[in-house]
A and B are shown apart, each in its own frame.
Chain A
Amino acid sequence: MTSKSTTTNEYENYYVPAQSHWPIVGAIALFLIAVGAGNYVANIDTDEGIGGWVLIAGIVMIIWMVVGWFGNVIDESMEGRYSKQMDASFRQGMSWFIFSEVMFFAAFFGALLYARVFSVPWLGGDGNNLETFQVLWPEFQAAWPLTKTPDGTTTEAMGWGGLPLYNTIILLASSVTAHFAHVALEQNNRGALKAWLGLTILLGLGFLVLQVEEYIHAYSAMGLTLASGIYGNTFYMLTGFHGMHVTLGTIMLIVMFFRVLKGHFSPDNHFAFQAASWYWHFVDVVWVLLFFFVYVL
């Protein structure tokens, strides 16, 4: 981590990269994604427009950028251009990035808690809202999970047993295996590293498969959709964004796996591996919160 013992020598070696074309590639990619997605969404009812294609082009371009940019970073690191100080910059950068992700989820958790604690009970006449209740939707019954909205949309609630519970166990287990992989790397035990990392990836993929299965079941058998009122909204936004993060985390782990196969990383120089594993633990913690607030309570 941040070494307090930094000598002047290490300061001298802070690597300032030369010009790079990857950021502008990334900027154009983001532009295409935004324009494409905007166009796609704006025409979602009519299915017109080329937004979908622009969006795909943007995504392809951003993948190209990530591969090229991170490729440069990996090369520079393998050539020994990075000092301990650079390593610390990367680590701190990644930690604060994860913190920003925490705050992103906080917005949706905030919406969930607000709905449960305030808006749904208020619609049922709680607090000083009796009159509103009687005038607006006197039939409405406040409850959570909200299976019947004020305007009459109905749905079923997702229990926590079965798939969600299995998924909780899977993700918790994967956090443990990811930790063992890290320990193996620090002890320079490459065999164990590959095994534990591979297992973590399999668990991640298993989680995603079950999640898809859960969604299919919810949509087809339970009538629980994204548009099923505030319960469905918060359910899909939270689990959906979490699922996207698991997907990203799994991809990161897979890249790490191939880098391990190529012989990258050493016991005291493995920032990328560390970052991927931090990300994975973060995704886990979010799931545990999700499991309690979305499914159990």
Chain B
Amino acid sequence: MTTATDTIADVHDHGDDHHDHKMTGIKRWILTTNHKDIGTLYLWFSFIMLLTGGAMAMVIRAELFQPGLQIVEPDFFNQMTTVHGLIMVFGAIMPAFTGLANWMLPMMIGAPDMALPRLNNWSFWILPFAFGILLSSLFMEGGGPNFGWTFYAPLSTTYSNGSTAFFVFAVHIMGISSIMGAINIVVTIMNLRAPGMTYMKMPLFVWTFFITAYLLIAVMPVLAGTVTMVLTDTYFGTSFFDAAGGGDPVMFQHIFWFFGHPEVYIMILPAFGIVSTTIPAFTRKKLFGYSSMVYATSSIAFLSFIVWAHHMFTTGMPLAGELFFMYCTMLIAVPTGVKVFNWVATMWQGSMTFETPMLFSIAFVILFTIGGFSGLMLAMTPVDFQYHDTYFVVAHFHYVLVTGSLFSIYAAAYYWLPKWTGNMYSEKLGKFHFWCSLISVNILFFPMHFLGLAGMPRRIPDYALQFADFNKWVSIGGFLFGLSQLIFLYVVIKCIKSGEKAPAKPWDGAEGLEWTVPSPAPYHTFSTPPKVD
């Protein structure tokens, strides 16, 4: 910088009155560069997507309520499973985490905003367009994508319908959004921490988002490459995934899962960060084993790059490959176990209270662990030959994603709602939401284990008669769980409109810089960084 410091100060003053008032109405939301506004946008968007994807799940469960074909055509059924998966992964879970990151990271590290605020706005606003394209493809001639969220070739190439190009470009935009969002997170954390906040003093929440952002930057471009090859295979005569031209459909699976497995950790590491924040707060104790948590998170991230072929045990890999991927996958259980141990040890002899965020967090620890155990079962190559592509896999990933990721997001939302809105939510309704969700989610997903072990294949609109009873229960659980999520919507609206005023720090065990500012958090926080020691 050649400019003298006083010019900077001048400009600074000038800049201040510029950005301190916020615009009103729709313009505020479209043009905003404020991390809190953008966080709010992400969170609402993800909730809308949750309901949209949820509606599709209702169609799926209605069709599967009884054996036989009742409600929808098989092709439409396939479109529902595909778009449900894509929306939940890329539209609900990932944006919810990015929204939390936007709201909380700058406040937690004492930064004035995200490092690149305009880029931040762009990362968000391209998302609704991407999902608009994806959803509109459902209404096109020939229908939307019907090849599963994993879009295996040749289903997505040789046998796909006319709208595949729209699927591909929508995924490209989602990828751009994730990469830009992740770059912003990394740069904010590396560069904007308050003086004195060293890496090992950062809240664990910040650490998990930091590592997740690296995973995103590393694998979203690989997804972009994969869909690009699907595009050229479908429309431009290439044969990457076609043996007749020297390619290989199995190669698709390798490249996809090289993205796909780190992707599942992208959806769970931030959840680890959330419960590592809430459990100490409601236990009134420090997190047990902070540094082991940091190392465990890093090793999980590292290992996630060398386990991808556990999704491909039945593709006829060479034996050495099967063994390598089996052992590496099992290795992940070690750092994951460290984490579960630390959460339990944090609660051990703590003075616990059970407000809604804590309830969701405890449910997380237990139910995520169930999902981890079914993961271990799937990781054993010989038995995966039995379980692969059955409802057992569906049970596994819904335990880790719904009672794992989604429950952690609810924990975070209840925990920080007072900070965001300035009002307390109704504890009674929050608990009602929790218990309804907890009970229905287990009716929904637990019997799927048995269905899978008995051999019911996934992604089919019809099934053999012996599966009828369990499927009926699964569907009932599904409808109840879907309805229960509307309670959350009501809780949030009621909290915003008429909740009791919240103090700056409503949870007496909570720690962190975000509780040092008033509730609701002012539009701009930490224009000058706090001193951390």
Contacts and interface: CB of A to CB of B under 8 A. Distances in A.
Contacts of B7: 80
Contact of B195 (A11, A146, A231): A11
A31 interface: yes
B165 A42 contact: yes
Nearest to A20: B118
A235 to B, nearest CB: 11
Interface stretch (B245-253, B295-303, B389-397): B245-253
B515 interface: no
A227 B247 CA distance: 12
A274 interface: no
B191 A150 contact: no
B1 A230 contact: no
Contacts of B163: 38, 42
A8 B195 CA distance: 8
B162 to A, nearest CB: 6
B200 interface: no
Nearest to A18: B19
A6 B150 CA distance: 46
A41 interface: yes
Nearest to A266: B2
Given A20-B31, A111-B255, A233-B239, A104 B225 contact: yes
Given A18-B33, A111-B251, A119 B243 contact: yes
A73 B514 CA distance: 30
Give the secondary structure class of B's interface: helix
Contacts of A12: 12, 527-529
Contacts of A6: 195
Nearest to A231: B246
Contact of A38 (B112, B133, B190, B239): B133
Interface of B: 1-3, 5, 7-9, 11-12, 15, 18-19, 23, 27-28, 30-33, 111-113, 115-119, 121-122, 125-126, 129-130, 132-133, 162-166, 168-170, 172-173, 176, 179, 182-184, 186-187, 190-192, 194-195, 217-222, 224-226, 228-229, 231-232, 235-240, 243-248, 250-251, 254-255, 258, 318, 524, 527-529
Given A20-B121, A227-B237, 11 more contacts: A16-B15, A18-B18, A18-B33, A37-B169, A41-B165, A107-B226, A149-B246, A150-B246, A230-B245, A237-B238, A269-B1
Query: Would you list the 10 A-B pairs with minimal beta carbon distance, nearest first?
Result: A107-B225, A227-B237, A230-B246, A80-B3, A119-B248, A23-B122, A34-B169, A19-B31, A104-B221, A151-B244
15 contacts: A14-B192, A16-B33, A20-B31, A23-B119, A30-B173, A38-B168, A42-B163, A82-B1, A93-B184, A96-B183, A100-B221, A111-B229, A149-B246, A233-B232, A268-B1
